[in-house]
Structure 1
Amino acid sequence: MSQVLERPRPAQPQVTVPATLEQALDPQWLAGALGKIAAGRAIAQVEEVEVIRTVATKVRFAVTFEDGQRLGFCLKGLLDVDAMTARGGPTCVLESDFYNKVAPVIAVRVPDCVATVIDREAHQAVTIMRDLIADGARFCSALDPFTADDALESLRQLSLLHARSDFLDGADWIRPRAAELAKMSYVTPEALQDLLDGPRGDNLSPRVRSAANLAAAIRELAARDGGRPQFMIHGDAHAGNVFRTPEGMGVIDWQLLQRGGWALDVAYHLNAVLPTEVAEVEERRLLGEYLSMMRGHGMDMPSEADAWMQYREGVTYGYYLWSITRRVDPPIIVQFVDRLGKAVMRHDSFGLLGAA
């Protein structure tokens, strides 16, 4: 079993979940949210450093306490969103639960979370972390190409997560995401075909660009995956969810934490972070390295041949995930659909799954 880091659990202050950026940076609200760190000190100043808006908002800010101490933080949540976007609140609750329950018992390098504010009845939450950038870390861009050596290091972090899959016993709140995606409740087949007919599918074969084929493939993948040993997996491990520190890489964004086959994470990760021409050459070697890591953690893994088959099927998960994505910058969507779609073509994933 992999080594477990000694990481303190975040505070869970009983304050209201903020709905706007203004509320989140209000000194009075922060005094309550950061009560454990404030230790009775008043907040003299709050300085907004950077705001990054995707579906969720990440705001970097600095707090100066009355005694002059200045600390940097990053708050993540659904701020200033419409009613449709607010329906994604359960993923924010899931991420807060990751930091409360999972992060303290795994050796994966993650941000230091100081507090989570959760409203379970309203299905909303925000997570407050130390500002990694202020501490010297650098976040990768979603479009940053990894080298094979980079991918080996990031795979090592994923292996540390997967090796603690014993945590899933009794953790029913960590759900099988691939099975839920297969229900097609996120997008209709017609809407999916419209998306694939756009620029994201320009370099893909008609067979792989077919929404009907993709829908059939994800259903079959979910069925097969559900019958295999279940691992605790990240679910969205592209380069934009990786950061670098002098000590090595770390992983952020735990809103798609799930249970599923290890290959869903590994096949998605390698084909999202590596340029296609690098993945073609290096992926089988990197898969072998990952299997060795997992066996070194004491995990029972399939043979090389069976693992390769699961990997070839598993890339369908990442391809489907990005094919249905809409609320991300178009260049990022096009890049990932292209890389993952080409991997589906290269591995004949649809053929293996009997989808076409």
Structure 2
Amino acid sequence: MSQAHTSRVPAQPDTRVPATLEEALNPAWLGEALAGAAGGKAVTGVEQVEVIRTVATKVRFAVTFADGAVGNFCLKGLLDVDEMTARGGPTCVLEADFYGKVAPVTQVRVPEAVATVIDREKQQAVTIMRDLIVEGATFCSALDPFTADDAVQSLEQLSRLHAKSAFLEGADWIRPRAAELAKMSYVTPEMLQELLDGPRGDNLSPKVRNAQNVASAMKALAARDAERPQFMIHGDAHAGNIFRTPDGMGLIDWQLLQRGGWALDVAYHLNAVLPTEVAEVDERRLLGEYLAMMRNHGMDMPGEDEAWSQYREAVAYGFYLWSITRRVDPPITNQFADRLGKAVMRHDSFALLGVC
């Protein structure tokens, strides 16, 4: 199984970043992109296996090389997108840089990236990885409910990432995204209120369903978080970004890689993956498990009461993300907004952040 425990630095071929699926599956282009992984052998055949289109496109494919060998890969990037979507290219560059710079120095289980093709001037990139499904992995659905035991496994992977936070020194390209999100430059208060008035807010209190409160809480959280020790965090660790292997769970989708407080990851993760009734019972115990993992990694962590306070505040981060989400299937958006919104209610997160 390809894992971060054996991750190598992917090749960075000097070739163009494809803008369409047709270009990405062109044998001549793939021969250039995969030259490092294939020893320079030409690609003589390409078979498309599966295409998954969300904001970014993921395409699984098999290639036949000139010597008859077959390789199975997955390419991720912005393909066949409009001009507005193409502006998200910097997140693809960020993900490619994760695989090129971060994955090889962590112990997080991730797909093995064989090549990253980056155009830094145009801020576009694609990442080519080994196809984990062919190697026996299964990918979780965003709506797959986790058990508390599952969450221990996924928290262990997050702790491995967080424990490598010394990497942040000198890595200014990993930014404090919570502070940037709090500016809400691309979602107006009116737009946010309209979203909250839809099905995603049906089971939430008027206080939590209020756009001004949501925005104010995120700004207050970002300000507090900036004053706390900064960790290297995933930023979007819901079940849809997790895979299972015989050796354990792993993480994908590094487009929100950021620096921030550990609680942003942990509070979002637990309340996104766990059904509300499970989180209510097990979240404090699971937080304790995470803190113990981090201390075992040699990290200095806050005491139980302070950690619980930070966790309760940080729930607002995940709720904010799913409050402003517009380009994900409604059942997924509604589920996450509901779980995280109920967590905000349960923990009285807005009041803790000074939003009354």
Q: Secondary structure at the match of 2:17?
A: coil
Tell me how far 1:6 sits from its aligned partner: 4.3
2:214 is paired with a residue whose SS is helix
Paired with 1:322 and 1:311, the residues of 2 have a C-alpha distance of: 18
User: 1:282: Cα distance to partner?
Assistant: 0.3
Q: How does 1:32-181 map to 2 (within 5 A)?
A: 32-181=32-181
| Deviation by residue 1:72-111 (Cα, 9 ceiling, x = unmatched) | 0000000000000000000000000000100000000000
Specify the SS of the correspondent of 1:121: coil
1:176-197: CA deviations, max 9, x gaps?
A: 0110011111301110000000
Letter in 2 for 1:20: T
Q: State the distance in 2 between where 1:39 and 1:215 align.
A: 51
Whichever residue aligns with residue 228 of structure 1, its letter is: R
| Corresponding residue of 1:319 | 319
1:345 equivalent in alignment to 2:345: yes
Question: TM-score if structure 1 supplies the norm length?
Answer: 0.98
* 2:242/2:252 contact within 8 Å kept: yes
Counterpart in the other structure of 1:264: 264
Distance in 1 (CA, whole Å) between partners of 2:292 and 2:64 is 47
Partner Cα separation in structure 1 for residue 41 and residue 161 of structure 2: 37
Q: Secondary structure at the match of 1:346?
A: helix
TM-score (norm 2): 0.98
Give the match for residue 13 of structure 2.
13
Give percent identity, aligned residues only. Answer: 78
Give the Å deviation of 1:41. 2.0
* Residues 168-247 of structure 1 mapped to structure 2, 5 A cutoff: 168-247=168-247
Partner residue in 2 for 1:328? 328
The worse-fitting range, judged by mean Cα deviation, of 196-205 and 40-49 is 40-49
Structure 1 residue identity aligned to 2:263: A
CA contact (8 A) 2:15 2:33 kept: yes
How far 1:67 moved relative to its partner? 1.5
- For residues 305 and 273 of structure 2, the distance between their equivalents in structure 1, rounded to whole angstroms, comes to 23
Q: Distance in 2 between matches of 1:248 and 1:99?
A: 20
* Partner amino acid, structure 1, of 2:117: V
Q: Secondary structure at the residue paired with 2:55?
A: coil
Aligned-residue offset at 1:37 = 2.2
C-alpha offsets along residues 123-146 of structure 1, whole Å, 9 cap, x if unaligned?
Answer: 100000000001100000000000
Residue 5 of structure 2 aligns to a residue in which SS?
A: coil
- Aligned counterparts of 2:135 and 2:5: Cα–Cα separation in 1: 19
Q: Deviations over 1:27-72 (max 9, x none)?
A: 0000000011232322121000000000000000000112111110
Matched to 1:295, the amino acid is R
Between the aligned partners of 2:326 and 2:140, the Cα distance in structure 1 is: 21
Classify the secondary structure of the residue corresponding to 1:265: helix
Q: Which amino acid aligns with 1:95?
A: E
Say which SS state the counterpart of residue 128 (structure 1) adopts.
Answer: strand
How many angstroms apart in 2 are the aligned matches of 1:323 and 1:63? 40
Report the CA distance between 1:7 and its aligned residue: 2.2
Residue 281 of structure 2 corresponds to which residue in structure 1?
281
Q: Deviations over 1:225-264 (max 9, x none)?
A: 0000000000000000000000000000000000000000
Q: Is the 8 A contact 1:6 1:105 kept in 2?
A: no
Task: Give the whole-Å Cα distance in 2 for the aligned partners of 1:121 and 1:41.
Answer: 29
The reply on whether 1:26 has 2:64 as its aligned counterpart is no
CA contact 2:204–2:341 (8 Å) conserved in 1: yes
Shift in Å, 1:5: 3.4
- The residue type equivalent to 2:197 in the other structure is D
Q: Name the SS for the 1:15 alignment partner.
A: coil
CA contact (8 A) 2:242 2:250 kept: yes
Equivalent-residue separation in structure 1 for 2:93 and 2:235 (angstroms):
16
Matched residue type, 1:214: V
For structure 1, the 5+ residue unaligned runs are none
Q: Which moved more, 1:297-306 or 1:38-47?
A: 38-47
Q: Distance in 2 between matches of 1:199 and 1:311?
A: 26
Amino acid at match of 1:227: E
Q: Whole-Å Cα distance in 1 between the matches of residues 116 and 76 of structure 2? A: 10
* Rounded Cα–Cα distance in structure 2 between residues aligned with 1:282 and 1:262: 19
| 2:16 match: secondary structure | coil
Tell me the amino acid that sits aligned with residue 300 of structure 2: D
